[in-house]
C-alpha cells in the first residue's frame, strides 16, 4: 500500500509541467502583439493551478481524516522541546505524517504563488472565472501563503529530532527553503513598499526644482535612522537644458538619450525589488581575486556595456512579471510615463 508521501507525489505530479509552462508563458508574454492570446493562456494556466490546488486540498482532508494531523503543543513526555517554545511548535503522529503534510503545504505554496503572479495577466471575464477564483484574490493568496510558510517552520522542531536520523532533516531542506523565502519576502515587503514609493517621491521632488540627477541608482540612496530613504550624490546633476556633467552606467540608462531620469528610475526600482542591477547576469562576479575583478571590469567596458545599450535601444528589457510592481518599472523603461509624477500617481492608484 502506498505511503502518504507517495500518494502526495502522485497527486502533485502535474505541478512540474505546469511550472515549465509558466516559464514559457512568461518568456512569451513580453510580446505585446500577443496580448489577447496571453490573457487566454494565463486564464488556462490559472485553471490548471486551481485544479492542482484542489487535488492538494482533497489530499490534506484525506490525511486529516486518517489521523495524520499535527497537534499543538507536543506530547508532555517529549524532552526535545523547551516549554517556552511549545506555542510555536507542531507535533505529528509520526515522521510519515510530518513529511507528507510539510511537503503538501510546500506544494500548495508553489501553486498559490503562481496563481498570484498570473493574476497580473488576466482578470475574471466569465461567471465561471468568478466562481473558480472567488477565494483566490492576490491578497487572500498572500495571506494563505504566509500561513502555510509558518506551519512549515513550526514543523521543523519535530522533523529535525535526532531520532529521525536522515528521514526528517533531509526531507525538511526543500520545504524550509521555500518557507524561508516566503517569510523573508513578507518581512521585507513593508520596507520595500515604502522605499519604492520614496524613490519615486525623491525623483518627483528634485524634478519639481528643475533638477535631473543624471546618475540615479540604488547606490546613491541612503537609509536614515528611521529607515527612510535619502537621495544623495548630486555631483553629476544638471538643470533641465544644459548638458549633463555625467551619466548613468549602461546597466541603468542610455547616456542621456532619455530625459528627466525616467528610464533610469525604472532601473533603480528594479534594483530594489530584484536584488540586482538590470542585465547583471551578463557579467557575474565569479571571484574576489584582484586579477579576476580587473578582467571583469575590462569585459564590462569592452563587451557588456555595449550589449546592455543595444538591449535598451531594442527595448529588450529584463522580465519583470515576477517582481513587485513590475508594471511601474516596465512603464519607466518603455517611456509610458512622461514624468516621475505620472509614475508615482500610477503607483499610488494600486
**CB count, 10 Å around CB of 178?**
21
On the CB side of 296, CA atoms within 13 Å amount to: 14
Q: Is 325 helix (H, G, I), strand (E, B) or coil?
A: coil
Q: Is 212 helix (H, G, I), strand (E, B) or coil?
A: strand
Nearest in space to 349 (alpha carbons), one of 331, 335, 333, 334: 331
Question: What is the sign of the dihedral through the CA atoms of 41, 47, 53 and 56?
Answer: negative
pLDDT of residue 129: 58
**DSSP structure string for 266-316:** HHHHHHHHHSS-TTGGGS------HHHHHHHHHHIIIIIHHHHHHHHHTT-
Report yes or no: 133 and 107 within 8 Å, Cβ to Cβ.
no
Find cell 500610477 and name the residue. Answer: 346
pLDDT of residue 84: 40
Report yes or no: 235 and 181 within 8 Å, Cβ to Cβ.
no
Over the chain (350 residues), the average pLDDT of each successive run of 10 is 89 94 85 73 90 94 91 56 54 90 96 88 56 70 89 88 73 89 74 88 91 85 84 82 56 48 88 82 67 70 73 82 85 89 89
pLDDT of residue 125: 55
Find cell 555625467 and name the residue. Answer: 246
Cell of 330: 516596465
What H or E segment, with its residue span, contains residue 231? strand 229-231
pLDDT of residue 58: 95
pLDDT of residue 34: 63
pLDDT of residue 257: 42
Segment 248-270, tens digit of pLDDT: 554 445 544 445 688 889 989 99
Amino acid at each position: 500500500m502506498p505511503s502518504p508521501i507517495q500518494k502526495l507525489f502522485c497527486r502533485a505530479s502535474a505541478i512540474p509541467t505546469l511550472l515549465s509552462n509558466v516559464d514559457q508563458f512568461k518568456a512569451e508574454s513580453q510580446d505585446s502583439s500577443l496580448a489577447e492570446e496571453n490573457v487566454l493562456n494565463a486564464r488556462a494556466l490559472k485553471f490548471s493551478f486551481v485544479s492542482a490546488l484542489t487535488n492538494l486540498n482533497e489530499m490534506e482532508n484525506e490525511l486529516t481524516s486518517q489521523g495524520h494531523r499535527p497537534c499543538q503543543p507536543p506530547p508532555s513526555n517529549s524532552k526535545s522541546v523547551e516549554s517556552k517554545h511549545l506555542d510555536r511548535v507542531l507535533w505529528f503522529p509520526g515522521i510519515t505524517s510530518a513529511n507528507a503534510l510539510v511537503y503538501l503545504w510546500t506544494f500548495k505554496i508553489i501553486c498559490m504563488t503562481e496563481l498570484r503572479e498570473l493574476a497580473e495577466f488576466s482578470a475574471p471575464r466569465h461567471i465561471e472565472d468568478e466562481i473558480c477564483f472567488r477565494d483566490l484574490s492576490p491578497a487572500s493568496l498572500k495571506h494563505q501563503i504566509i500561513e502555510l510558510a509558518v506551519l512549515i517552520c513550526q514543523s521543523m522542531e519535530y522533523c529535525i529530532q535526532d531520532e529521525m536520523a536522515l528521514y526528517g532533516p533531509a526531507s525538511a531542506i526543500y520545504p524550509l527553503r521555500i518557507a524561508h523565502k516566503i517569510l523573508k519576502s513578507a518581512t521585507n515587503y513593508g520596507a520595500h513598499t515604502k522605499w519604492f514609493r520614496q524613490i519615486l517621491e525623491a525623483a518627483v521632488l528634485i524634478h519639481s526644482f528643475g533638477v535631473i540627477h543624471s546618475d540615479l541608482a540604488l547606490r546613491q540612496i541612503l537609509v536614515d535612522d528611521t529607515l527612510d530613504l535619502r537621495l544623495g550624490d548630486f555631483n553629476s546633476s544638471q538643470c533641465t537644458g544644459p548638458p549633463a556633467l555625467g551619466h548613468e552606467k549602461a546597466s541603468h540608462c542610455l547616456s542621456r538619450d532619455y530625459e528627466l531620469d525616467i528610464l533610469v528610475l525604472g532601473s533603480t526600482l528594479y534594483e530594489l525589488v530584484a536584488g540586482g542591477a538590470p542585465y547583471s547576469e551578463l557579467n557575474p562576479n565569479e571571484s574576489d581575486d584582484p586579477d579576476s575583478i580587473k578582467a571583469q571590469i575590462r569585459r564590462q567596458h569592452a563587451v557588456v556595456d555595449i550589449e546592455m545599450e543595444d538591449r535598451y535601444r531594442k527595448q529588450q528589457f529584463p522580465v519583470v512579471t515576477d517582481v513587485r510592481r513590475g508594471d511601474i518599472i516596465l512603464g519607466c523603461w518603455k517611456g509610458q510615463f512622461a514624468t516621475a509624477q505620472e509614475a508615482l500617481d500610477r503607483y499610488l492608484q494600486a
